[in-house]
Amino acid sequence: MLDEIWDSKMLTNNGPMHQKLEAEMEAYLQAPTAMLFNNGTIALLTALKMLDLEPGSEVITTPLTFAATAHAIVWNGLKPVFADVSPDTLTLDPASVAHAITSKTSAIIGVHVYGTICDVEGLQRVADEHGLPIIYDAAHAFGATLGGIPVAKFGRASVFSFHATKLFNTFEGGLIATPDAEDRERIYFLRNFGILNEEEVVEVGINGKVNELQAAIGLLNLPLVENERIQRRRLREIYCEALGDLPGVRLPVVQDNVENSEQYFPVVINPQRFGRTRDDVYNALKERQIFSRKYFHPICTDFEPYRHMSIISHRNRPFAEEVKSQVLCLPFHSGVDDTDLADISAVFHAK
């Protein structure tokens, strides 16, 4: 592929590799609009910009997410409002979103976490009741479906990350998918400085383009995705069998009619029932050179820019505040071998 890039004499600016990968993404995600970006954060910034929201208005999202979700709201001149998560899925809770809506609310950002899909029907009902658009941060949900429908078809837009840590990656990269083919032109201008031609700029745009090397990596990686997912499904079964009988260790939720992306394998450790904390397990694994992730911890409202903000919940205490110190993502990829699995099991079963 490098030879093809050198022969084309195009390293960026919508080159042949870019065009081919974008077409393959449109087919894979079954989305009328699927447009590549240089990273997921720029894609999320652009998706919000596409909505033309009132400056200073409020966008409701979850605190249990990567900081970029909240940052994209602020960089658009908007105010993030954090609503609680559902205890079963750890995704944005529709009832808490309803509590968080004010006259200043302009949009909702749901986040599909760990491969678990948001309650898209519940969130859509709340959004429709108040006339609000929904964007989904789908960084963890590449390839996921609900009732056979790809996640890219839900909401006003879905934003994917193709960072190197993701199931499908272009080293760095991202994508906006929407169910409306008419979005393509607007997103194109927003992604490319608003340039119409050599002499005209018609939109205040940003540089969100993917270069040809990134696109080539994506074209090489896409055929490998399904085999990796198969291996991760098998790993999921092994983890569930090894850890399923442990009191105080909650396995990932199994959602009806959902094909999981197989991005992460999170467990929730209740220290009172399990007898050890999440951090105890994390450190014991680390001593064996096994690196799990306290993901997400800290949550957004623990970070300096958002520390003054509360989490709005229909419960007496936000569940996000409780679960943030209990979630642990175990190693979840085809490189996990039998020795790793034995060590992980030993740590969890240690007295």
Domains of the chain: 2-223 (3.40.640.10), 225-349 (3.90.1150.10)
Q: Which of 15, 34, 22, 256 is nearest to 153 (CA)?
A: 34
Residue 1 confidence class, pLDDT cut points 50, 70, 90: confident
Compute the half-sphere exposure of residue 12: CA atoms within 13 Å on the CB side of its CA: 10
- Residue 2: predicted pLDDT: 77
- Residue 337: predicted pLDDT: 97
- Residue 222: predicted pLDDT: 98
Torsion angle of alpha carbons 70, 118, 114, 174, nearest 10°?
A: -60
β-pair partners for 195: 201
Residue 330 CB neighbour total at 10 angstroms? 23
β-pair partners for 111: 137
Residue 291 has pLDDT above 90, yes or no: yes
Rounded to whole angstroms, how far apart are CA atoms 15 and 17?
6
Cβ-based neighbours of 142, under 8 Å, separated by 6 or more:
160, 162, 166, 167, 168, 225, 261, 263
Report the pLDDT averaged over residues 147-173. Answer: 97
Tokens read off for 46: 């652009």
pTM of the model: 0.96
Greatest alpha-carbon span in the chain: 71
Distances 59 to 73, 111, 120, 124, 240 between C-alpha atoms, Å: 7, 13, 17, 15, 37
Give me the chain's average pLDDT, please: 97
Residue 212 has pLDDT above 80, yes or no: yes
3-state DSSP call for residue 303? coil
Contact 282, 292 (CB under 8 A): yes
- Residue 293: predicted pLDDT: 97
- Residue 24: predicted pLDDT: 98
Residue 91 has pLDDT above 80, yes or no: yes
- Residue 153: predicted pLDDT: 96
pLDDT digits (tens, 9 = 90+) for 239-264: 999 999 999 999 999 999 999 999 99
Contact 21, 36 (CB under 8 A): yes
Residue 351 has pLDDT above 90, yes or no: no
Residue 77 has pLDDT above 80, yes or no: yes
Distances 329 to 64, 119, 293, 299, 326 between C-alpha atoms, Å: 14, 21, 5, 15, 10
Residue 229 has pLDDT above 80, yes or no: yes
Tokens read off for 260: 């999981």
Report the pLDDT averaged over residues 220-233. Answer: 98
Residue 342 has pLDDT above 90, yes or no: yes
Report the pLDDT averaged over residues 180-201. Answer: 97
Residue 52 confidence class, pLDDT cut points 50, 70, 90: very high
Higher-confidence position of 334 and 9:
334
Q: Is the peptide bond before 266 cis (omega within 30 degrees of 0)?
A: no
Distance of CA 109 to the CA centre of its chain: 11
Residue 285 has pLDDT above 90, yes or no: yes
Residue 40 has pLDDT above 90, yes or no: yes
Report the pLDDT averaged over residues 277-295. Answer: 97
Report the pLDDT averaged over residues 276-289. Answer: 98
Rounded to whole angstroms, how far apart are CA atoms 99 and 164?
37
Rounded to whole angstroms, how far apart are CA atoms 229 and 206?
34
DSSP code of 158? Answer: E
Q: Which of 110, 105, 70, 76 is nearest to 90 (CA)?
A: 110
3-state DSSP call for residue 312? strand
Contact 47, 134 (CB under 8 A): no
Residue 289 has pLDDT above 90, yes or no: yes
